[in-house]
Structure formats: structure tokens, C-alpha cells
């Protein structure tokens, strides 16, 4: 909305106030790391830039370990694979691009499991109304307890 001040915590994508938590998951979908909460108006790539991308670049360069990410991280750089976006003119994707998108989509489903593990186990994360300053600590505590419960070291 031009000319109107929009609250930092308002997410235009969700259409309501909220926060953004980034997570890194193991290939089997187990959550390994979660970020502090960012305002809902922050774009995915902006939220990932400082705490996450440096580690992913290192893993791609030294371990030959690519990372699968959603379209919100388009343009993240080397070693971070994102889906090919649909053309702006509304045309469809070429068969090659559709196939390219289908392969990582199935693998990314395992990565999305990380959030499902946390939210499925810790009901408080489903609809949290705490202060944004406390949400990151609550999610990190949930992650630590999940590591303990599954007997997986951090």
C-alpha cells in the first residue's frame, strides 16, 4: 500500500503478523539448527544471508554437499539449488525445467519434515503469541529438547 506505514512484523505473504524462522535439516529431515526469529516482512533470502549462507557455501565447496532450498532463496549462490520459477508472462515451463523442479521437490519434502518434527512434538510452536524477542529462544529450546528426546547430539 503506497504511502502507508506497514508494521515490520506484518507478513504480506501470510496476510497477518508473524515471524520468520530459518532451519537447517539433515538429509533425513531431522532438524539440526534454527535461527532467531526475524520480522514477518523480511524475505527468506535476507533472513538466510548472514546466519546460514556462509556455512552452506563452505559445505558446497569443501564437502561437495549441495543444499536444496525453496524458491524464496532464489539467487542464494553456488551450492544452493532452488526451483526454476514460472515465466512472468504466465507461460508454462519447458519439460526440462518441470523435471528439474520435480526431482528436488521430492527430496526437499524430507527437509520440510524438520519443521514438522518440531511443531508436531511441541504444541506451543503451532500458534505462538509470545513476544518476538522470546520466540527464537522458545524454538531453540524445543530443538534442544528434540535432540535430547531422539538421542541425537547437536
HEC string for 44-65: HHHHHHHHHHHHHHHHHHHCCC
What is the structure's pLDDT at 1?
A: 55
Decide: 145 and 29 in contact? Cβ < 8 Å: no
Provide the number of structural domains found in the chain.
1
60 occurs within a structural domain? no
For 36, the domain range is 10-42+83-149
Please state the φ and ψ torsions of residue 57, each to the nearest 5 degrees. Answer: -65, -40
52 occurs within a structural domain? no
139 occurs within a structural domain? yes
What is the structure's pLDDT at 122?
A: 95
- pTM score, two decimals? 0.78
What is the structure's pLDDT at 2?
A: 64
What is the structure's pLDDT at 3?
A: 61
Give the span between the Cα atoms of 49 and 143, in whole angstroms: 21
pLDDT along the chain (154 residues), means of 10: 71 80 88 90 84 84 85 82 86 90 83 90 90 90 96 84
Q: What nine digits make up the cell of 60?
A: 558446497
70 occurs within a structural domain? no
Give the pairing of strands 38-39 and 19-20: antiparallel
Amino acid at each position: 500500500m503506497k504511502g502507508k506505514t506497514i508494521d515490520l512484523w506484518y507478513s504480506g505473504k501470510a496476510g497477518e503478523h508473524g515471524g520468520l524462522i530459518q532451519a537447517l535439516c539433515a538429509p533425513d529431515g531431522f532438524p539440526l539448527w534454527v535461527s532467531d526469529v526475524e520480522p514477518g516482512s523480511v524475505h527468506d533470502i535476507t533472513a538466510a544471508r548472514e546466519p546460514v549462507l556462509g556455512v552452506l557455501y563452505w559445505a558446497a565447496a569443501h564437502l561437495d554437499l549441495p543444499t536444496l532450498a525453496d524458491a524464496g532463496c532464489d539467487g542464494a549462490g553456488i551450492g544452493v539449488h532452488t526451483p526454476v520459477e514460472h515465466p512472468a508472462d504466465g507461460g508454462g515451463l519447458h519439460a526440462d525445467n518441470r523435471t528439474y523442479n520435480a526431482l528436488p521437490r521430492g527430496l526437499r519434502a524430507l527437509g520440510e519434515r524438520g519443521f514438522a518434527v518440531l511443531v508436531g512434538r511441541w504444541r506451543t510452536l503451532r500458534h505462538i503469541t509470545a513476544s518476538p524477542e522470546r520466540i527464537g529462544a522458545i524454538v531453540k529450546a524445543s530443538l534442544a529438547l528434540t535432540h535430547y528426546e531422539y538421542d541425537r547430539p547437536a
